[in-house]
Structure 1
Amino acid sequence: MVFSKSLSAEEFNPEVIMNSGQVFRMKREIPGAHGMPDTYSACSGDNDVYFYLNKDNDTWDFVCEEAQWDFWQRYFDFETDYVSFNDSVRASSDKFLKESLMDSFGMRILRQDLWEVFISYIISQNNNIPKIKKSIQVLCDRYSDGIHFPKPDVLAFIPETELMDGTALGYRADYIIGVSKGVLDGSIDLEKISSLPYDEAYNALIKIKGIGPKVANCIMLYGFHFMESYPIDTWMKKIITEDYSSYSKDEYLNYINESYIGFQGYIQQLQFYHKRKKK
């Protein structure tokens, strides 16, 4: 079925979202030609969708199963007013952040499938985006149907040497198998962790083998949708030292946490996208 949403360029831009480092399985499927719109796709867990800008109706049209539409509305976080976040940025005196916003119009923080985002960010540690995407696609091709993400009851029983072979997972294979087994035996309850208060959820995550502070913060933001989470990776460290050099790290984080309460993670995504684009 086709579901239509009226969304301005400030409210939704898939090119920005899919290149922001928060998602690894959203892509442009068909470049527009002869007046046809660019078509995008996204997969998350058992769900898949195609979407494109319908210029005749000035709407974004989403093609998915009727039973999945609620998932996709939540996935794209359509209930959140991102323009109000942008208004706060526009009212600030932060030059770098204002430049980031102009570069990142249409950014949203996705609400991704918990299992997939959990494993994806274990794969992401000490890794780059092209390699992460390749590893995830190999897992989908090899241990699922090539589209949907493999389940824990599959990943838990793959020999580590096999899981490492041709996937570029390296040492992360051990973490993936361990987490998969934990989900199966109930020692890791993703839904329960995601429903905990922020500090408790964070502490629960970093107790899991293979999850450090950066990965925990990514899972908190992109899976649990704790918008106050502010992941710091190599790019964010560069931003702090190069673009906010008058601050110490603690001073900088205090500035972010005091100025953008409740949407610090969104601020991080604007900055991250802008910095990588400038490289």
Structure 2
Amino acid sequence: MVFSKKFTPEEFNPEVIMNSGQVFRMKRETKGADGMPDTYSACSGDNDIYFYLNTEKDTWDFVCDENQWDFWQRYFDFDTDYVAFNNEIRKYEDKFLKDALKDSFGMRILRQDLWEVFISYVISQNNNIPKIKKSIQILCDRYSDGIHFPKAETLAYIPETELMDGTALGYRADYIIGISKKVVAGELDIEKISKLPYEEAYSKLLEIKGIGPKVANCIMLYGFHFMESYPIDTWMKKIISEDYKDYSKNDYLDYINCSYDGFQGYVQQLQFYHKRKTK
């Protein structure tokens, strides 16, 4: 079924979103030619969708099962006014962030499937985006249907040597199996953690083997949608040291938290995308 929504370029741009480091299974399927639009796809948990810019109607058209549409509207966070965030950013004399905003029109923070985002960011630690995407796709090919993400019930019972073989997961395989076993046994309820207050949820994540501060912050932002979460990886460390070098790290974080309270994670995504694009 086709669902249409009208957006300005400032409100929605899949090229920006899928290259912002927050999602590993959104991609451009076909490059438009002879007047045909680019076609994009996304998968999250048991859900999959295709979408494209309908130039005749000037709408974005989304193709998915009717019973999945509510999931995808939430996934793309269509109820949040990102232009309002942009207008707040424009009030400050922050050249790097303003340049990042101009470069990143159409960014949104996705609300991804909790199980998939949980394991994806365990895989992400000390890793780069192409390798993360490859590992995730191998898991989908081997242990699901090649499209949907494998369930905890499957990953929990894979021998560690098998899970490590050809997946580039390395030591992360042990973490994935351990987390999967806890989910299957009912000892770990990701949905329940996602509904806790910020500090409690963050603390609970850090108790799990295989999850440190960076991974926890990513799960908090890209899965639990705590917009105040501000993940700091190697790219963000470069930004702080190179583009905000007049600040100490603590002063910089105070500036971010005070100035952009409630959408720090969105600011982080603008900065991350811009820094990688202009490296």
Q: Deviations over 1:152-193 (max 9, x none)?
A: 000000000000000000000000000000101111100100
Whole-Å separation in 1 of the counterparts to 2:30 and 2:247: 44
Which residue identity is paired with 2:4? Answer: S
The answer for the alignment partner of 1:178 in structure 2 is 178
Whole-Å separation in 2 of the counterparts to 1:101 and 1:264: 13
The answer for the alignment partner of 1:274 in structure 2 is 274
The answer for the alignment partner of 1:124 in structure 2 is 124
Q: Deviations over 1:45-90 (max 9, x none)?
A: 0000000000100000000000000000000000000000000111
The answer for the alignment partner of 1:252 in structure 2 is 252
Structure 1, unaligned stretches of length 5 or more? none
Q: Secondary structure of the residue that 2:188 maps to in structure 1?
A: coil
- Give TM-score scaled by structure 1 length: 1.00
1:91 positional shift: 1.3
Whole-Å separation in 2 of the counterparts to 1:246 and 1:185: 50
The answer for the alignment partner of 1:189 in structure 2 is 189
Is 2:58 the partner of 1:58? yes
Q: Deviations over 1:24-62 (max 9, x none)?
A: 000000110111000000000000000000010000000
Q: Deviations over 1:251-278 (max 9, x none)?
A: 0000000000100000000000000001
The answer for the alignment partner of 1:104 in structure 2 is 104
The answer for the alignment partner of 1:166 in structure 2 is 166
Matches within 5 A, 1:1-279: 1-279=1-279
Whole-Å separation in 2 of the counterparts to 1:220 and 1:182: 19
1:105 positional shift: 0.3
Deviating above 6 A after TM superposition, structure 1's stretches of 4 or more consecutive aligned residues are: none
Whole-Å separation in 1 of the counterparts to 2:89 and 2:273: 15
1:205 positional shift: 0.1
Whole-Å separation in 2 of the counterparts to 1:105 and 1:90: 13
* Percent identity for Structure 1 against Structure 2: 81
Q: Deviations over 1:80-117 (max 9, x none)?
A: 00000000111110000000000000000000000000
Q: Secondary structure of the residue that 1:15 maps to in structure 2?
A: helix
Q: Deviations over 1:206-239 (max 9, x none)?
A: 0000000000000000000000000000000000
Structure 2, unaligned stretches of length 5 or more? none
Which residue identity is paired with 1:264? Answer: Q
Q: Secondary structure of the residue that 1:42 maps to in structure 2?
A: strand
Q: Secondary structure of the residue that 2:237 maps to in structure 1?
A: helix
Whole-Å separation in 2 of the counterparts to 1:258 and 1:171: 38
Q: Deviations over 1:120-157 (max 9, x none)?
A: 00000000000000000000000000000000000000
Whole-Å separation in 1 of the counterparts to 2:92 and 2:66: 42
Whole-Å separation in 1 of the counterparts to 2:237 and 2:188: 31
Q: Secondary structure of the residue that 1:225 maps to in structure 2?
A: coil
Name the count of aligned residue pairs. 279
Which residue identity is paired with 1:261? Answer: D
Whole-Å separation in 2 of the counterparts to 1:211 and 1:219: 10
Whole-Å separation in 1 of the counterparts to 2:4 and 2:123: 34
Which residue identity is paired with 1:153? Answer: E
Q: Over aligned residues, Cα RMSD in angstroms?
A: 0.3
Whole-Å separation in 2 of the counterparts to 1:132 and 1:62: 26
- Give TM-score scaled by structure 2 length: 1.00
Whole-Å separation in 1 of the counterparts to 2:165 and 2:231: 30
